[in-house]
């Protein structure tokens, strides 16, 4: 292994640990705003993983769309709708033990499946520069009537409806 590969593996393990730790904090924290901030940290860790894979377009999309739009929209929705519901009611579900056991069983099953896969330790071969214009293909697929334009537009309408609904709920409480 070269020094560059060792540095990439160290960065991978640091960003993977950051992503997994912050994802656990998203579901473990009691405050919704803190959960949203931990979600931003987790999404940023995924962007770092994309950067390690030399997927620069996915890094930009991850930062701009997920961190810059969806997470911030979530924070605004929480701030607009959760003003009067501060720490009311029980914070834990009564069946959290069952949920934890199902989560551990799922993790164990996935670990078993991935460890028995022969390509688990193999690194993907890098795509030679200039052979495939994936960004152009993805852009064409997103706006093509035959491919992904409908799900793309439905997602944007749903996000707009969620924002309008949050504003409506916040306005009715006053």
What pLDDT is stored for residue 121 in this prediction?
A: 65
Give the predicted TM-score (pTM) of the model.
Answer: 0.58
Confidence band of 147 (pLDDT split at 50, 70, 90): confident
Calculate what percentage of the chain has a pLDDT beyond 90. 18
Render pLDDT for 39-60 as a digit per residue (tens, 0 to 9): 899 999 999 998 888 878 888 8
Render pLDDT for 58-95 as a digit per residue (tens, 0 to 9): 888 888 888 888 877 777 777 776 655 555 666 566 78
- Of 3.40.50.11890, 1.20.120.1200, 3.40.50.800, 1.10.760.10, which CATH number belongs to 3-85+135-173? 1.20.120.1200
Q: Which of 9-13, 54-58, 130-134, 140-144 has the lowest mean pLDDT?
A: 130-134
Q: Are 143 and 56 in contact (CB under 8 A)?
A: no
Tokens of 10: 């160290």
CB neighbours of residue 73 within 10 Å: 16
What pLDDT is stored for residue 21 in this prediction?
A: 93
Calculate what percentage of the chain has a pLDDT beyond 70. 82
DSSP string, 103-166: HHHHHHHHHHHHHT-TTSSPPPPPPPTTS--HHHHHHHHHH-TTTTHHHHHHHHHHHHHHHHHH
Q: Are 149 and 143 in contact (CB under 8 A)?
A: yes
Report the 3 state secondary structure along 35-101. Answer: HHHHHHHHHHHHHHHHHHCCCHHHHHHHHHHHHHHHHHHHHHHHHHHCCCCCCCCCCCCCCHHHHHH
What whole-number distance in Å separates Cα of residue 34 and Cα of residue 74?
A: 12
């Amino acid at each position: 292994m070269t020094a560059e590969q060792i540095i990439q593996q160290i960065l991978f393990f640091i960003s993977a640990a950051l992503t997994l730790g912050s994802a656990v904090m998203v579901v473990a924290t009691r405050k919704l705003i803190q959960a949203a901030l931990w979600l931003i940290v987790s999404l940023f860790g995924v962007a770092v993983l994309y950067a390690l894979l030399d997927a620069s377009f996915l890094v930009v999309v991850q930062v701009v769309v997920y961190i810059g739009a969806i997470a911030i929209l979530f924070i605004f929705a929480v701030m607009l709708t959760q003003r009067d519901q501060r720490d009311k009611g029980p914070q834990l579900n009564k069946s959290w033990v069952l949920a934890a056991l199902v989560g551990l069983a799922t993790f164990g099953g996935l670990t078993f499946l991935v460890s028995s896969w022969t390509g688990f330790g193999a690194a993907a071969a890098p795509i030679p520069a200039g052979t495939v214009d994936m960004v152009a293909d993805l852009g064409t697929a997103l706006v093509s009537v035959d491919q992904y334009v409908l799900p793309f537009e439905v997602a944007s309408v749903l996000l707009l409806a969620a924002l309008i609904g949050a504003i409506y709920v916040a306005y009715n409480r006053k």
